[in-house]
Amino acid sequence: MDSRPSRVMSGRVSTVSPRLTCENVTLERGTDEAVLLVHGLGGGPYEVQRLAETLPLTARCLVLPGHEVRGRRMPDSTWVQWSVALANEYDALASRHRRVHLVGFSTGGPLVLHLARERNLTQARLVLLAPFFRVYRPPFAPVRPEALLRAAPFLKQVPRRRPPLGDVALRAELDALSGFRTFSLGATRSALELIADLERQLPVARPLILQGARDTVVDPSGASWLHQRLPGSVLQFVDSDHLLTLDVSAAQVIARAVEFLCTR
């Protein structure tokens, strides 16, 4: 298997949307297949909403536990809580649809892989958007951020950074929409526990992995690591940071995901 990612070039696109939300999103299409979309840690359905709106299939974007109340301080939550909520949402969709596909953004990536492994979902299509398997490590940083997180359990919260987007208007919109002004390190450590679990055993799957080459939240090497272990495809968007469905290559990211999810 060729583990080298394909590289996708694109022009800039307008991304401002007044409809972006931190609430659950359900889009009924009357189809016998559905897609369950999972946002990232500290984020919300707005991170995958534009993809859901483009899909011709029934789509559901759930709010993960710990993300329901958008106060200034991000609450602590755990990967077990997230996975239980995801499994419940999957069961609800599966009771009404012949097949349910999965999309995971950032920490949502490990979550859908965990669900696919535990439920042996070999027929579901999986799309992983900037999957979180490694924390971004700035150039010349002496140690990996994961080591710092584990070495300093007394650190509970850090200031939340602004959304990594070049579009100033959209960045301000997301900044106001999110509400959180801190980021839970306890929740981050729990996400690392989920990743460690998956590193021991991945599901039988052929995911489509979409990764921004300029990601400053997760290390793009995590997508490469995953691609070397699962016989799927990886596309690298050379101009994009972390928020793939909202950044400069959003139109192409969404088109590739829709094509993969809807091809019979």
- The pLDDT, as a whole number, for residue 148 is 83
- Domains of the chain plus CATH, in order, are 6-262 (3.40.50.1820)
Angle between helices 79-94 and 108-119 (to 10 degrees): 60
Q: Which of 165, 170, 171, 179 is nearest to 17 (CA)?
A: 170
What per-residue confidence (pLDDT) applies to 262? 95
CA atoms within 13 A on the CB side of 121: 23
Helix axes 185-200, 79-94, angle to 10 degrees: 70
Q: Which amino acid is at 51?
A: L
CA distance 240 to 243: 8
Half-sphere exposure of 133 (CA within 13 A, CB side): 26
User: Which amino acid, 59?
Assistant: A
Whether the Cβ atoms of residue 31 and residue 54 lie closer than 8 Å to each other: no
Q: What is the mean pLDDT for each group of 10 consecutive residues in the chain (264 residues)?
A: 40 48 95 97 96 97 93 95 98 97 98 98 96 89 82 89 91 89 95 96 96 95 94 95 96 98 88
User: What local confidence, expressed as pLDDT, does residue 149 receive?
Assistant: 84
What is the residue whose two structure tokens read 């971004």? 136
Q: Residue 45 gets which letter from DSSP?
A: G
pTM for the complete prediction?
Answer: 0.91
